[in-house]
Structure 1
């Protein structure tokens, strides 16, 4: 296991969309491991390291709120983009007025989490001067100073996240569910595994969603590693 960190993230609203909901968005009860990894990568991302989320602590009571938002009903087809890149005269504009749709979303409010994670080195992409200590200190410096490559968010970009590093030896806040022995949250998205295959002498990028059975014990969700899924 690499160097471990604890990060506290919070926000007014969050939306971790369940993939089984098609037309309108419904959030998971808590933050997903992939969303937690996205926040860590927003603070520090390097090809030489890979973030691994160990556990997520739910500090506040789980509360939902229903809202309505304007969304576009379609997107620019990839084939049109490919034709435009090849030099064809293709209109890539999206006209929001005729394509606007109102959709309801069931989102979380007043969220507050602790993310416990560590990173491992990627030997194929690490340079001679890349060490675990180097990236660990780099993350500490950036997290303490509030620095990030892009503003981290809670599931959707419009729901910005506030973050604060929990220093070693600092007292951890107690979860609202500290007295609850076990709460079954059902199947949850763990992450998406990306790969590459060669089909008919062409490289094709693939992706495979991974799920796990999320159980919250005393407010803490232990995130399994990829091997145990």
Structure 2
């Protein structure tokens, strides 16, 4: 059996999906729905390998969209503390569907393009709550993941025909994720239909901005790693 698709449930007490441009004054205000990049980061916390790239396909909003403001005392760069107000999403839960493709911009890792191996390792990592800490937008918003069937259970917006959220941040495409070796930021206009947001891939976003041109770090056998696993790792393996 071959597959490259995972569905999982992620939940947290708070979430803060924001853009750096909105943080200039020290305040942070969350977007109302998760960004593509935030969900990709959560998926990479479950399982990451440089030989594959995760693509977020859909997200289902399960709970009503609510916000709360908290007073925060962040550390100032010049020393001491400051007083800021952060606007968080509260009591969030999402169902997410993702898939992976091989990163063809890293031909030195071609021997690691084993679909079965990566799928089953990712599946086991998801069943154990991920390989790294899960957080939603910022480090203080700790989250939890578990497997689920996409579309199962009742969602708050199941009967809401359509909701639009205007222009917002989508993702960052890094140098090793495109043939031009460029780092670009993407923007789009998300639309939720009956609680489900269907994401467009980064290359189809209508607006993009070039950040910089970077060289791609290459991995060398014997220097950066000893060998590439060819075989399928059986259930229960590490």
TM-score (norm 2): 0.76
SS class of match (1:158): coil
Gaps of 5+ in 1: 75-94, 197-204
Q: Is the 8 A contact 1:47 1:125 kept in 2?
A: no
Count of equivalent residues: 195
Query: Cα gap change, 1:128/1:18 in structure 2, threshold over 3 Å: closer, same or farther?
Result: closer
Q: Is the 8 A contact 2:51 2:112 kept in 1?
A: no
Q: What is the root-mean-square deviation of aligned Cα atoms in Å? A: 2.0
1:102 pairs with 2:102: no
Residue in structure 2 matching 1:51, options 45, 54, 63: 54
- The higher radius of gyration belongs to 1
CA distance in 2, matches of 1:43, 1:195: 22
CA distance in 1, matches of 2:108, 2:191: 35
Deviations 1:25-84 (A, max 9, x none): 10000111100000110111001100000011100000000011111232xxxxxxxxxx
TM-score (norm 1): 0.79
Report what 1:134 is aligned to. Answer: 117
Q: Which has the higher strand share?
A: 1
Counterparts of 1:102-121 in structure 2, within 5 Å, are: 102-121=83-102
SS class of match (2:200): coil
Report what 2:133 is aligned to. Answer: 151
CA distance in 2, matches of 1:27, 1:103: 14
CA distance in 2, matches of 1:68, 1:112: 23
Q: Is the 8 A contact 1:11 1:111 kept in 2?
A: yes
- Bigger Cα displacement from structure 2, 2-11 vs 103-112: 2-11
